[in-house]
Structure 1
Amino acid sequence: MVTEFFLLGFQGSKYSRMGVISLLLVIYCGTLCGNLLIITLVSTSKNLHTPMYFFLTQLSISDILLTTVIVPNTLHVLQNNGGTITFIDCITQLCFFCASETSECLLLTVMSYDRYVAICNPLRYTSIITCSYCVILAITCWFLSLSTILINKLTTSMLIFCGPNIIDHFFCDLVPLLDISCSGTFIVEFEIYILSPFIVIIPVIIIIISYVNIILTIFRIPSNISRHKAFSTCSSHLIVVFIFYCTMLGVYVFPTRGQALNISKSLSLLYTVFTPFINPIIYSLRNREIMETLHETVHKYIIADHYL
């Protein structure tokens, strides 16, 4: 019985691996700083106490969880040109990875619904998207996400590994684990078949329907200035959704055998490491309110430091 796995990571020369390690370390620090900055600004500024920014803080928490689950162990694997991970640690990493990915999908869906109500029903926005309703939606997203931990913990822990213990990946993903399992994978595959519509398909349909209605509503706005303002409020979210789902579908839908396996690992690196890093940049650089709040906060601390 296999009690530990060997993660190959990205095989290469020492210098190329050191370059990747340096890049990932910079990105990881940038991800933590960027997302913590958004959480801090939204929490401390009354101007940002709105449903859109409340959901943005939840997305930042999910991004921090996702990148923290993946990056530290990946750095260890790259440094040693491969690394071992125990069965328990592997399953735990997989469960928290699934939970963070699920929360990302659900939160992006809730944010698209928030933009739909704001643009398509602006007069009823404050009566529909109330503070209590936002909290309920956020709790529902996290409850469903954490429920996947329990389900994955039960089903994946039932798998038996008695043959090769080498995983050609930089973290414990579900597909590589199923490939080297000696036991039947019917239960796990059935679980994926049952959960996929609720985690991926239905959220994607809701996002598409929301943005179709948003685009149609924006085109009906007579004023160019109002049309541009309405589109700018949801363009950042649309960019994040596009990057996240395109990279994720590229990993789990397209074939991953042979030479395409390296492409799959690269795409996995995009949505597990680079997407959490890009999200706060997109939302901050393209958001006037966040930039103004940041400038006010920095200016306030500069004045306070000057008087001290």
Structure 2
Amino acid sequence: MPDLLKDKVVIVTGAGRGVGQCIAEYCALQGAKVVVNDLAKDDNGVAIAELVAESIRKAGGEAVSSTDNIGLMAEAVNLVNIAIEAWGRVDGLVNNAGILRDRIFHKMSEDEWDLSIQVNLKGCFNTARAVAPFMKEQGSGAMVHMTSTSGLVGNFGQANYAAGKMGLVGLSKSVALDMQRFSVRSNCVAPFAMTPMVMNGIPRETEEDEARWKVIERMEPNKIAPLICALISDEGAHVSGQIFGARANEVYLFSQPRPIRTAHIGDEAGISAEAIIDRVFPMFKGDFYPLERSMDVFSWDPV
């Protein structure tokens, strides 16, 4: 059995199926002791987190399960305590849990917004905040937060999801800065994969929808896990505050916002709205970003 994560304790949220399950199983294969977290149950009422944990144990690994709701701070604290009580430490946190509530913006309800933000952003804060004191005390640890090109690039009908996933980028960078003195690191990964969340959340009504599905169906969820494992490993100790993407056999490093053009208005009148309209907008026009969606940017087939 490979041992890239030998004796490390890793919490994976949303690990009952899809990408999260693949991450939990891959980390266990690499020697990690895994806390499998998921709210869902199967058709027989059995917690799917326990089913994944049981399969890991049967394969010779170590795993326990959790059905805690990370959207609630008290339950996120309980999730972390499960790891501490079982193994006395936490070396990795993978914030994978997420939900889709797709709706065109002008029809989006407050409930659709609030629920998405609670899980996709607040939930990740909750788990990161709960685990931080333990990682601080250890003087080590790694967090990986799942962002999305819905926020990094753009997509139709996902204002709530995009806002939460872009919020994660800011959260991750802040964690990386605040925790670097304790040798705790934090990174984001934008995964491309066919998962139950995608299947349940993306419409299949138009020709455009069908084209989107054909691409997504070729993206295997197990292809995401190796990057997550590498970031948690000791060999990834020099990597923090970055934004990655993973799609099939491809790994991406995303840019981060920095100034790309500067305009100085230095005449006697100084800066004014009229001067900006007359001089700055024309100067910057060639560098404006177009309104693109994820599929416009990642237009080639995954390999």
Same-fold call, TM > 0.5? no
Q: Which has the higher helix share?
A: 1
Structure with the bigger RCO (C-alpha within 8 Å, sep 6+) is 1
* Bin of the TM-score, shorter chain as denominator length: under 0.3
Q: Which has the higher strand share?
A: 2
